[in-house]
Structure 1
Amino acid sequence: MKQIKVRNKAKKQFNQQFPLIHKEDLLVGETFVPANEFVEFKSEDNQFLGYGYLGSQNKGFGWVLSFKEKETITPSLIKQILVKAFNRRKHFFSDEQTTAFRLFNGEGDGFGGMTIDWYQGFLVISWYNDTIYSFKEMLLEQIKSALPEAKGIYEKRRFKDDSLPESQFVWGEEAQEPLIIKENGVSYATYLNEGLMTGIFLDQKEVRGLLGSGLANGKTLLNMFSYTGAFSVAAVSGGATQTTSVDLAKRSLEKTQEQFLVNDMDLDQQRIVVMDVFNYFKYAKKKELSYDVVVLDPPSFARNKKKTFSVAKDYSKLTTEAVEIIEPHGMLIASTNAANVSFDRFEKMVEKGITNGQRRYKPIKQFRLPEDFVVSKHFAEGNYLKVLVYEII
């Protein structure tokens, strides 16, 4: 097994089982990525640090998968890691009200660079770097062996390689389209082989659960950056009288209509608007529109022809725009999955935005990743989801 030398100054974090390798942790000349090969990490003074692999992705430059010198990485060990992860989620399989969930959460379950989602019997595997993808056939065999009840497997390639498809069916039975899954008793139309996204973000199920349990009962809701309108559908299931879903993508109109229709919900009470979010705020103020609940869940970074948006720079302004059209004692649900923005920083940005909008606030609830999105206690950065619920006074 090839040895990779790590700088002594980085040794402490790996001794504390921090799993992510950064390029700057490696000695000069150690950044060559061995093809289809696991490696042994050692410090400059030759201390064993762990076994893993090198592979560039947005989070870093590789992962440590085993911190025990006698526990080398073998197909048998990988199957053990998978079985342990699947077993800790056993209770999810028997929940008929929620039939889609995260089955394996990368480094949270001990194997960075790969996630697996369960969609009513079908698996969706995401590969985050080309090195992990080079182990694909071996990993697929271990996944099928660890979970024989899986009907079929799809994959999403979340690293750049123009020679490979972004999404494809890889094994077993193909899912029907749309595949109707349930979450908290609400139905959602999903497509397992339509680009990188499926039609629903599974990490937001607790927030949708809050809406479905009555947060917006008897109220109006504005869902910004609405994608397929999942928050809006959850709100209607919880008694919302009317929803408005706004997204710049033209496909959002048809996709959102479909989500309402699979739940037999009346489209006459739902507005679906294809428009830039900031333009909609201006439109709403001009038309003197206001809402009882506003949901803000933008992408971490977005660009259109006229402007760019990033959570790190622009979320406060977004919040200010939102609170200007929230009814007195209405609610703001502020959300981000931007891993480069800490929880404390996000909270300050949102509260600054509310204050800049000349409103006061009362914190109601906050969410991080749900139980199935397991986070390693040695890698707090893996808990990327941050959701804050406020009463706007």
Structure 2
Amino acid sequence: MSSVQYPTASLKPHKDESLLGGHLWIFSGALQQPPRWVEPGALLDVKSSTGQFVARGYYNPQTDIAIRILTRDNAESIDGDFLRKRVREAQELRRVFVPSVTNAYRLIHSEGDGLPGLVVDRYADILVAQVHTLGMDRLLPQVLEALLAETGARGILLRNESQARRREGLEVEEPRVAAGEVPQQIEIFENGVRFIVDPWRGQKTGFFLDQRDKREALRKYARGGRVLNCFSYSGGFSVYAALSSEATQTVSVDASAPAIEAARQHFALNGLDASKHEFHTEDVFEYLEQAAERGERFDVVILDPPAFAKNQGARTQALKAYRRLNTLGMQVLRPGGILLTCSCSGVIGMDDLLGVVSNSAQRQKRTVQLLESYTHGVDHPTNLAMPETNYLKSVFCRILA
């Protein structure tokens, strides 16, 4: 038993089954009564309806997920040693990356690494952290100490801009340095490819690390072809495609002018002549419609849009948007061409995405061959007991006539 005594909350009968199976969330309806004597964000013990210890976590009465579990070991106190152990365990997994080849990856992936509410991305010797929950926010000073001690990072930037913090009763903050020094730009390596990350203003924490393995997989399909990269952001997929062969031609389309400019810079950074490739600052849907009218055809089309659904209520409209996008993408794809299509909407599952692709192909009387399917990547592990925390789905398909 832990040397620290924590307040307790009791579950209704049979509500401990998912926890015993490894789930890390307890919804408010599973509690016998709200533990009003427990301060929001505080640590507590969870007991079964018969009074047996089940787990230890933090509590927030303001959210549907009332308790998020940190440990099921009664002897484990939630302190600096506990947090250092979790960071060490996370680092152990990331040793699959050779620093001279890949020095940017997700270090802490929330529930997947046993630290709900915390995301930490590593860019060379700089860490960029996001805290999404009240309980984790209260642990932040100890979290920062653990990260510095275990990683040897030169600086830590906090990016607490997520609107999800408001549901937890937290303020949405401007980016701020939490430790050391954090530059405006960081050069990183990913599979030997060079990129510049803006940790202060870039999307997410500065780069889409969860698409690393898909970018690498793209090389073999892109070689020598004409590649259309939709929602290209800073050109990650485009650079990988262009590096596959001097004969490869890429077209990058994004609504953000700064993102398109960053893509041009990334071409130059990797010794590629940007003038041999196309860059368009346009709405993707409009570009695809106009490209189809012009009769343009591509050997590879990449569809990597932002999340079309943030919650279950937006699911129906999101599916319509995905169907429209994939239909347009197929219209500019030559017979036998490769479609890489993605969804980062948590409420859209892999079966939903495959259904969208199949439906879009049927509308055009085309046949689909599923070639490869991916989720987040090795540095974004998923707790197998929590499939609802999966968010990214990516598939490579061959679209026949």
Query: Does the alignment pair 1:231 with 2:234?
Result: no
Aligned equivalent of 2:173: 165
* CA shift in 2, pair 1:294/1:379, >3 Å: same
Local SS of the residue matching 1:333: strand
Aligned equivalent of 1:153: 156
Aligned equivalent of 2:71: 66
- After TM superposition, list the pairs within 5 Å mapping 1:350-389 onto structure 2: 350-389=357-396
Query: Does the alignment pair 1:77 with 2:62?
Result: no
Which of 315, 321, 325 in structure 2 is aligned with 1:318? 325
Which of 253, 263, 267 in structure 1 is aligned with 2:260? 253
Contact 2:340/2:396 (8 A) holds in 1? yes
Deviation of 1:164 after TM superposition, in Å, equals 4.8
Aligned equivalent of 1:267: 274
- After TM superposition, list the pairs within 5 Å mapping 1:1-393 onto structure 2: 1-30=6-35, 34-55=39-60, 60-92=65-97, 94-147=98-151, 149-157=152-160, 158=162, 159-160=164-165, 163-175=171-183, 177-194=184-201, 197-212=204-219, 214-239=220-245, 241-301=248-308, 311-393=318-400
TM-score, normalising length from structure 1? 0.90
Local SS of the residue matching 1:193: coil
Contact 1:178/1:189 (8 A) holds in 2? yes
CA distance in 2, matches of 1:368, 1:168: 31
* CA shift in 2, pair 1:17/1:198, >3 Å: closer
Deviation of 1:4 after TM superposition, in Å, equals 2.4
CA distance in 1, matches of 2:37, 2:189: 45
Contact 2:195/2:266 (8 A) holds in 1? yes
Code of the residue aligned with 1:323 in structure 2: it is M
* CA shift in 2, pair 1:46/1:302, >3 Å: closer
Give the paired residue count.
386
CA distance in 1, matches of 2:227, 2:36: 50
* CA shift in 2, pair 1:382/1:324, >3 Å: same
Code of the residue aligned with 1:232 in structure 2: it is S
* CA shift in 2, pair 1:145/1:95, >3 Å: closer
Question: 1:269-315 deviations in whole A, cap 9, x for unaligned?
Answer: 22222222211121112221111101111111279xxxx99544421
Contact 1:56/1:129 (8 A) holds in 2? no
Deviation of 1:211 after TM superposition, in Å, equals 2.1
CA distance in 2, matches of 1:302, 1:88: 31
Local SS of the residue matching 1:142: helix
CA distance in 2, matches of 1:359, 1:166: 48
Local SS of the residue matching 2:148: helix
CA distance in 2, matches of 1:37, 1:172: 28
Local SS of the residue matching 2:159: strand
TM-score, normalising length from structure 2? 0.88
Q: Alignment RMSD, CA only?
A: 2.6
CA distance in 1, matches of 2:61, 2:346: 17
CA distance in 2, matches of 1:334, 1:315: 9
Local SS of the residue matching 2:15: helix
* CA shift in 2, pair 1:56/1:344, >3 Å: farther
CA distance in 1, matches of 2:354, 2:138: 40
Deviation of 1:53 after TM superposition, in Å, equals 0.9
Local SS of the residue matching 1:96: coil
* CA shift in 2, pair 1:284/1:17, >3 Å: same
Contact 2:34/2:61 (8 A) holds in 1? no
Deviation of 1:27 after TM superposition, in Å, equals 4.1
* CA shift in 2, pair 1:91/1:29, >3 Å: closer
Deviation of 1:45 after TM superposition, in Å, equals 3.6
Unpaired runs of at least 5, structure 2: 1-5
* CA shift in 2, pair 1:60/1:37, >3 Å: closer
CA distance in 2, matches of 1:357, 1:6: 53
Unpaired runs of at least 5, structure 1: none
Code of the residue aligned with 1:227 in structure 2: it is Y
CA distance in 2, matches of 1:163, 1:111: 20
CA distance in 2, matches of 1:32, 1:225: 49
